[in-house]
């Protein structure tokens, strides 16, 4: 085996492992749009954004990631990566800069997840969409209830298109209800 073939094999193996981390369903739901600017809160290593960029689903993908190791890896995959919490430091983008904002489970790693979400909503352009899938109160004390998420999005001028709680359940006669493990929402500004 030549050194070139060995390198090609290693690259293919790394790509397969890297893209396996991507939120494939999110990317598959996106239309081809080379002009779309996307912001992802809690981007991890950038696998989802890299896949979307590779498939022509967007023109730029900006990630926000607080874990330094993951942020460094994401820098090689995304248009830009910011390692600061938007709740504490304004992102270097104007209002209405993004046509799509993804907020995933990584939001729970931020110190003030409710404030972080509130800080990024103004960056969504009119007609833009936000997709949120975050920890519920059943998974994290700083997590969201469906009502929390609904209020946070409405305050930012986002019209709720879908809201659901995943996991948790009501106890006997509604007593002892377990809060949701995850709360999901889709909205449009």
Tens digits of residue pLDDT in 41-60: 999 999 999 999 999 999 99
pTM of structure: 0.82
85 pLDDT more than 60:
yes
Cα separation, 57 vs 41, whole angstroms: 18
- Mean pLDDT value of segment 164-180: 60
Structure tokens at 7: 């390198």
Cα separation, 174 vs 160, whole angstroms: 26
Helical packing angle, 113-120 and 146-155, nearest 10°: 30
Cβ-based neighbours of 166, under 8 Å, separated by 6 or more:
136, 180, 181, 182, 183, 184
- Mean pLDDT value of segment 82-92: 94
Q: Give the residue from 85, 106, 100, 86 showing the smallest Cα distance to 42.
A: 106
pLDDT at 134: 80
Structure tokens at 94: 């104007």
């Amino acid at each position: 085996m030549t050194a070139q073939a060995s390198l090609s094999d290693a690259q293919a193996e790394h790509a397969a492992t890297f893209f396996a981390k991507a939120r494939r369903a999110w990317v598959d739901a996106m239309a081809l749009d080379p002009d779309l600017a996307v912001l992802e809160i809690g981007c991890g290593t950038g696998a989802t954004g890299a896949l979307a960029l590779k498939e022509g689903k967007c023109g730029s993908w900006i990630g926000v990631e607080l874990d330094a190791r993951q942020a460094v890896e994401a820098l090689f995959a995304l248009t830009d990566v910011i390692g600061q919490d938007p709740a504490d430091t304004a992102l270097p983008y104007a209002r209405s800069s993004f046509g799509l904002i993804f907020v995933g489970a990584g939001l729970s790693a931020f110190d003030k997840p409710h404030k972080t979400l509130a800080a990024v909503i103004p960056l969504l352009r009119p007609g833009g969409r936000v997709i949120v899938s975050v920890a519920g109160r059943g998974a994290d004390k700083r997590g969201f209830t469906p009502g929390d998420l609904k209020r946070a999005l409405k305050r930012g001028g986002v019209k709720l298109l879908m809201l659901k709680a995943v996991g948790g359940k009501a106890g006997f006669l509604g007593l002892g209800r377990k809060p949701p493990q995850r709360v999901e929402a889709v909205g449009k500004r």
